[in-house]
Structure 1
Amino acid sequence: MKFDYRPLSDFTEVKGGKRLPKGSNLITTPNSHPYIRVRNLGTDKVLELTPDYEYVDDETQATISRYIVNADDVIISIVGTIGLVAKVGKTLDRANLTENCAKMVNIHGIDRDFLYYYLLSEDGQNAIKAATVGAVQAKLPLKNIQALPIPNISLDEQAAIADTLSALDNKIAVNKKINHHLEQIAQAIFKSWFVDFEPFGGMMPDDWREVPLGKVVEISTKTLNPQSCPDTILEHYSIPAFDETRLPVFEAASGIKSNKYIVDKDCFLISKLNPTTKRIWRPYCISSHAVCSTEFIVYQAKNPAYKDFYYSVIDSPAFTDFLLSHVTGSTGSRQRAVPSETLSFTISVPPDCIIADFCDKVASIYAYFEQNYLEIRRLRQIRDALLPRLMSGELSVADLSR
């Protein structure tokens, strides 16, 4: 089945965001004026307020208050990475919107979720690409957004398509929420045992040792030149992959131009690039060809059986503070931690029996965490396979039940 099309302007108004006034800057102190930027799009279907957001102060807010978004608006990036799409969640109702995005408001005659998925589909992204102008600074003009062709199908069919895809995204969201709680549980156990010493009467026992991190872990710099194996499909743990999905990207080595670190299941990674954004990763090693960006520090416990303990050390707020105090580069987008200096971080090491007991308690947490992310990967694959076929009319929802 092939669709007829109508312009997007038949279903919604398209309005722009607002640039901050000259001399105004975003603030990190939370208030009631969060500011949505392009970097907040591209990960989740529904945007919700997270600690990554910055804010507009009260004085600036008074000058840009006409450019807020409302819950359930659909927004799209129009500069930079063009064509990222999201729905506004309840926690960002009345948030401010960057001038690098546009919002679709007063949506009528079309299912909002269907609109979201269509704009993400291959057909939708091709239409967005065709509507983008500018050779030097590409931009998606508002009038071109209004003219985007939208499939003219019944609301019932739109809802059926949207419900099918939403069921997959909802399960992905549930798994992410569970994993967030699992991380908090593991961190709380570590804090209770090794920061507050609660099982030990609130004091560090006398038979514990304080040693530099380098005594118990080492940094691996085993390197692979992808051009030496161009036909190999690499399981690539990159900074963008972490930020977008926290899942590795599988890609041909021939398309990767720079050297990578080789990783395995005994490794754990933390980003040395811009450590103000915490990126800590336990590689899943789905394949036998796992590599990571050289912007990660690759740690390995000298005793692999204690990996979970030393991973928890690296995941602790104290280590994050240490990392941030040992960076090079000016304030901005290119600060880096110095890997060798992280090995001087002082940690409290209990007797082996206590480390083993802790690892036993958290092993199931981390196993469940990994299982959830591998299920997220499978759900994303199903969704991404269905999306273009449903949106092009090649496949109908009825076909899925046959």
Structure 2
Amino acid sequence: MSEWIECKLGEIAFFSQGLQVPIEEQFTEQKENLIRFIRIKDITSNGQEPIRYIMNPGDRYIARFGDLIMIRYGTPGLLSDKYEGVIANNLFKINLKNETECYRKYIFYFLNQQSIQDHFMASQNSTTMPAITFTEVSSLPILLPPIAEQKAIAGVLSALDDKIDLMHRQNKTLEAMAEALFRQWFVEEAEESWEEGKLGDLVEIKYGKDHKSLLDGNVPVFGSGGIMRYADRSLYNFESVLIPRKGSLDNVIYINEPFWSVDTMFYTIMRKPNIAKFIYQFVKNLNLSSMNVGSAVPSMTTEILNNVPIQIPSDQLFEIFEERCSQLYLKIQSNAVQIRSLEKLRDTLLPKLMIGEVRVDV
């Protein structure tokens, strides 16, 4: 490793802040002379937010695909290189001074290390809104191998990320197929003869529990934002639908393996066989955000969920739907297991590659 160079990030990069744009100057449709406006919520929601557009202010504030964009406020340090457009003023772009000596994707992975993200959160300088400064980012020590090895390291990590992304896209396709089948059978072809009931007739809605006393393990622990960690024990071992109680109310999750659910996430026990996948599709298509009863934090109650009206078809139709969907969900679950395995491998390799503990052939 004698050829590796230790320096500060500010010695190899400079930073440019984004543009402040009033809400009335943001548009929801792309028209002539408009360009995409990239906000914090675009990055934190992984591209699920509706796109906004603004008048093109010129190249100074523009990021192109592959450019490193970092969040300054709220979730400081979170990074993306997958957006193109004008960045908002609570974001900033990391520009490399010499790209013949520094490889952008290597810097991207360096900054995505959990230790770096933890450092940003610990060193934030605001009591009201977590934030980081350019000084803080500039002072980060970094080890730089020769450019060829930087590219090789980034190539290994990118290959894992590409595989993870492929499986995520496969799962979206499989989920869309299951949803199309649900809509055809239970929405478009719904029969008036079906029993009028309530969601509580089909499921028992249970509160999650605190996870802090759990040891680390392989059991996924779910909050309203998704998987929080992996623990040594499960709260429930059977097929279930998880429904947010606090926070992101529309993040409904289907699970068919042992899991733990924290107190911001309800879990469900099925009162009938062959209905979990039906319940998942039904609840996922509800506008849960519109049922919010919270003031500061979006909130859901068991009373609201139990009283959601639902048309209940025959047990035979539930059984047929289960048979048709089961292979789709088995593949989704298999992909999810592989995704977690690949993410664990990537996250284990990343810090070792960054300090030369694991080397890559160039």
Q: TM-score range by the shorter chain?
A: 0.7 to 0.9
Hey, what's the Cα distance between the residues in 1 that align with 2:349 and 2:26? 41
Change (3 A) 1:35 1:334: farther
SS at match of 2:358: coil
Q: Deviations over 1:97-117 (max 9, x none)?
A: 233321023661222211111
Matched, 1:120 2:92: no
Aligned to 2:197: 211
Hey, what's the Cα distance between the residues in 1 that align with 2:361 and 2:60? 43
Give the stretch that moved more between structures: 149-158 or 98-107. Answer: 98-107
SS at match of 2:16: strand
Matched, 1:220 2:206: yes
Aligned to 1:80: 74
Matched, 1:344 2:307: yes
Letter in 2 for 1:13: F
Hey, what's the Cα distance between the residues in 1 that align with 2:266 and 2:121? 37
SS at match of 1:264: coil
Change (3 A) 1:236 1:348: same
Matched, 1:52 2:49: yes
SS at match of 1:19: coil
Q: Which runs of 5+ in 2 are unaligned?
A: none
Q: CA deviation at 1:390?
A: 0.7
Aligned to 2:222: 237
Hey, what's the Cα distance between the residues in 2 that align with 1:282 and 1:85? 28
Aligned to 2:125: 134
Letter in 2 for 1:172: I
Matched, 1:312 2:312: no
Q: CA deviation at 1:65?
A: 7.9
Change (3 A) 1:10 1:367: same
Change (3 A) 1:20 1:144: same
Change (3 A) 1:249 1:355: same
- Kept in 2: contact 1:210–1:347 (CA 8 A): yes
Alignment of 1:21-170 (within 5 A): 21=22, 24=23, 29-31=28-30, 33-41=35-43, 50-53=47-50, 55=52, 58=54, 61=55, 66-87=60-81, 89=82, 92-94=83-85, 96-105=86-95, 108-109=99-100, 110-121=102-113, 124=116, 132=123, 134=125, 136=127, 139-170=131-162
Q: Which runs of 5+ in 1 are unaligned?
A: 198-203, 254-260
- Kept in 2: contact 1:121–1:391 (CA 8 A): no
SS at match of 1:140: coil
Q: CA deviation at 1:269?
A: 0.9
Letter in 2 for 1:93: E
- Kept in 1: contact 2:224–2:247 (CA 8 A): no
Hey, what's the Cα distance between the residues in 2 that align with 1:249 and 1:230? 10
Q: Cα RMSD over matched residues?
A: 3.3
Hey, what's the Cα distance between the residues in 2 that align with 1:69 and 1:232? 39
Matched, 1:326 2:291: yes
SS at match of 2:92: strand
Q: CA deviation at 1:80?
A: 3.0
Q: Deviations over 1:149-188 (max 9, x none)?
A: 3323221111110111111011000011111111111111
SS at match of 1:367: helix
Letter in 2 for 1:218: E
Hey, what's the Cα distance between the residues in 1 that align with 2:193 and 2:169? 39
Query: Identical aligned pairs, as a percentage?
Result: 23
Q: How many residues align?
A: 354
Aligned to 1:179: 171
Q: CA deviation at 1:215?
A: 1.9
Matched, 1:273 2:246: yes
Change (3 A) 1:230 1:297: closer
Q: CA deviation at 1:304?
A: 3.2
SS at match of 1:357: helix
Aligned to 2:357: 394
- Kept in 1: contact 2:205–2:268 (CA 8 A): yes
Hey, what's the Cα distance between the residues in 1 that align with 2:264 and 2:121? 31
Change (3 A) 1:235 1:9: closer
Aligned to 1:250: 230
Hey, what's the Cα distance between the residues in 2 that align with 1:284 and 1:305? 13
Aligned to 1:295: 264
Aligned to 1:14: 15
Per the normalisation by structure 2, the TM-score is 0.84
Change (3 A) 1:18 1:326: same
- Kept in 1: contact 2:78–2:112 (CA 8 A): yes
Per the normalisation by structure 1, the TM-score is 0.76
- Kept in 2: contact 1:161–1:397 (CA 8 A): yes
- Kept in 2: contact 1:69–1:103 (CA 8 A): yes
SS at match of 1:51: coil
Q: CA deviation at 1:281?
A: 1.1
Letter in 2 for 1:270: I
Q: CA deviation at 1:386?
A: 0.7
- Kept in 2: contact 1:216–1:302 (CA 8 A): yes
Letter in 2 for 1:84: L
